[in-house]
Amino acid sequence: MPLALLPELSEVRDMLRKFTQRELDPISDIIDKTGDVPPIAREVLHKHGFLGMRLDPAHGGSGASLAQYCLALEEFSRSNRVFTLIMDATSGLTPMAIQQHGTAAQKAKYLPGLSDGTSYMAFGLTEPDAGSDSASMRTRAVRGDGGWIINGRKHFINGGDIADSVMVMTVTDPEKRARGGISAFIVDRGTPGFSVTRVDQTMGSEAVRLAELTFEDCFVPDTALLGEAGDGFKIAMGSLTKGRLGVASSCIGVSDKLIEMCVEQASVRTTFGQKLSERQAIQWMIADSAAELTAARALTYQTITQYEEGNDVGSAASMCKLLCSEMVGRIADRAVQVHGGMGIVRGFKVERFYRDIRHYRIGEGTSEMQRMLIARDMFKNGRVTHL
């Protein structure tokens, strides 16, 4: 489908599609076989200017717009979710928070390494008792001599086991909490008191791992504070709006690829003397998938366009994330059904896609959390106030 709402990016899509097929698909095969991300993955993305693509050129980035970044996520997700995670670690939540709220010294220290592939960053928000309810976090940072002392635990941190630095959200004022009592700190690997205490493998690609990070009397200097003390919750929530549009874009890309695979399979597979493409049950699965994708893509593109123009998109980002993450689950299920036995056997991409996409309904805020945010917006305003 052409980029009707973003016509200036149609040529970019063609370039991204060819790049994905030529450069990323072979690496994706390596990832599937080994369960690890080879160094060449970041090297290729760096070589072609995709690492740190949303960062300012002054720090080695490409200065890409949110629309260009989301389009790259959409295309790369057609190959492997791992590539979108690398993109997020160099242009997503933590990097953009530093670019927007960091001091000149922080930008100079952290951003160039993200653009040239020599460093990797993670976002430390989730805790054992504070997932969707992030305002209930228990990790504390208290004033020390010339800095802060952090104690607490974060878990399910994507890339936390390999990150060179982590943006850690902490409670600095227990009375205020989300209303000015949460602060963000950049904590480097190797800082005394900071350790990776557990690494979990997910149900998706074996190369995607989630880490538990522990802080025990971890001292960081005042220069580690991102923004002002108490700005952490605002910084995190602002980053999540863009993050949810990125997730929606990734879901669109996977859905598009799965539908493409279903059409190809149905066109060549014959049972009882008849091609699957001639069977109404299969036709309806593909037709429903195409209709859902078209609607989800239209809403997401429109929301990105409105955001790029400086408009308040309200809860539209949550709508995009909800609609797209739920959609890709249904499409992946149909794709497995269309492929039959091939759809459930390890080594076939449909099976890996099926496992990988389950994360999208949880990460960046669960579907239930998105519904709550949308409903809260509706009750506050009495109507849809955006788009």
Structural domain includes residue 2 = no
Question: 88 and 170 share a domain?
Answer: no
In a domain, 147, yes or no: yes
121 phi and psi angles, rounded to 5 deg? -125, 150
Residue 239's pLDDT is 76
Structure tokens that stand for 132 in this block = 């969707």
Other Cβ atoms within 10 Å of 362 Cβ, number? 15
The better pLDDT of the pair 1, 148 is held by 148
Same domain, 332 and 211: no
Is 386 within the bounds of a domain?
no
Q: In this structure, are 129 and 76 located in the same domain?
A: no
pLDDT > 70: percent of the chain: 97
For residue 60, the tally of other CB atoms under 10 A from its CB is: 18
Q: What tens digit of pLDDT does each residue of 256-307 get?
A: 999 999 999 999 999 999 999 999 999 999 999 999 999 999 999 999 988 8
Read off the DSSP letter of residue 343.
G
166, 152 in Cβ contact below 8 A? Answer: no
Q: How far apart are CA 218 and CA 204, in angstroms?
A: 33
Please give the positions annotated as active site: 364
| C-alpha to C-alpha distance for 347 and 99, rounded to whole angstroms | 40
Supply the CATH number for residue 30's domain: 1.10.540.10
Under the banding of pLDDT at 50, 70 and 90, the label for residue 386 is low
The tokens 């208290």 sit on which residue?
142
Whether residue 123 contacts residue 167, with contact meaning beta carbons closer than 8 Å, is answered with yes
Residue 252 lies in a domain: yes
What is the Cα gyration radius of the chain? 21
Kindly state whether residues 78 and 144 are assigned to the same domain: no
Q: Are both 129 and 208 inside the same structural domain?
A: yes
% pLDDT > 90, the chain? 79
Which CATH number do you get for residue 264?
1.20.140.10
Range of the domain at 293: 234-381
Query: Where among 230, 257, 277 does a domain terminate?
Result: 230
Do 376 and 249 sit in the same domain of this protein?
yes
Let me know if 4 is exposed, middle or buried by CB neighbors in 10 A (0-12, 13-18, 19+).
exposed
Q: Is pLDDT of 58 > 90? A: yes
Per-residue CA distances from 96 to 4, 69, 100, 135, 185 (Å) = 28, 12, 6, 21, 14
What's the whole-number mean pLDDT along residues 122-146? 88
pTM recorded for the entire structure: 0.93
Last residue of a domain, one of 61, 87, 116: 116
Query: Residue type for 39, please?
Result: P
Average pLDDT over residues 74-87: 96
378 contact partners, CB below 8 Å, separation of at least 6: 315, 384
**Domain check: are 213 and 295 in the same one?**
no
Do residues 257 and 364 both lie within one domain? yes
Cβ burial 257-288 (10 Å sphere, 16+ → b, else e): bbbebbbebbeebeeeeeebbeeeebeebbee
Same domain, 175 and 201: yes
CA 349 to CA 118: how far, in whole Å? 30
d(CA 269, CA 277): 8
Please indicate, yes or no, whether residues 272 and 375 belong to a single structural domain of this protein.
Answer: yes
Structure tokens that stand for 70 in this block:
């989301």
The domain total for the chain is 3
Nearest Cα residue to 24 out of 88, 86, 67:
86
Same domain, 37 and 134: no
Q: Any alpha helices (H) in 269-344, and if so which ranges?
A: 280-308, 316-339
- Give bridge partners of residue 200 from the DSSP assignment: 210
The residue among 204, 230, 256 that closes a domain is 230
The answer as to whether 176 is a domain residue is yes
Has residue 309 got a pLDDT over 60? yes
**Token pair for 143:** 């004033």
Do 105 and 181 lie in one domain? The reply is no
